[in-house]
């Protein structure tokens, strides 16, 4: 799987139709109409997301590796 930073994940979510609703400290909170709950994305500069966290965000948001 291609590893991405928090910033990269935010861009992928926005391309998939998610919108930023608020920023709480270093976490960007995204929402999409029809989604069960918001998706938080930790943004710590250009540090890559840990693999398990990246997979969890992708699964919850319905984003595939192709979308990254």
Please tell me the total count of domains within the chain: 1
23-50: pLDDT as tens digits: 999 999 999 999 999 999 999 989 999 9
In this prediction, residue 64 carries a pLDDT of 93
CATH of the domain at 43: 3.30.920.30
- What is the model's pLDDT at position 1? 84
Q: CA 47, 4, 66: angle at the middle one, nearest 5?
A: 175
Is the whole-model pTM more than 0.85?
yes
Please check whether residue 58 lies inside any domain of the structure.
yes
Residue 1 lies in a domain: no
Give 1-51 as a DSSP string. ----BHHHHHHHHHHTT-EEEEEETTEEEEE-TT-SS-EEEE--TTPBPPH
Distance CA 2, CA 20 (A): 23
* pLDDT for 68: 86
**Cα 29–Cα 39–Cα 36 angle in degrees, nearest 5:** 125
Domain of residue 54: give its range: 6-67
Mean pLDDT computed over every residue of the chain: 95
Residue 44 in domain:
yes
């Amino acid at each position: 799987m291609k590893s991405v930073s928090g910033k990269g994940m935010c861009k992928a979510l926005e391309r998939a139709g998610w919108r930023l609703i608020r920023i709480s400290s270093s976490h960007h909170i995204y929402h999409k109409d029809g989604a069960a709950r918001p998706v938080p994305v930790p943004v710590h500069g250009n540090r890559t997301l840990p693999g398990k966290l990246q997979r969890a965000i992708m699964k919850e948001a319905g984003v595939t590796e192709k979308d990254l």
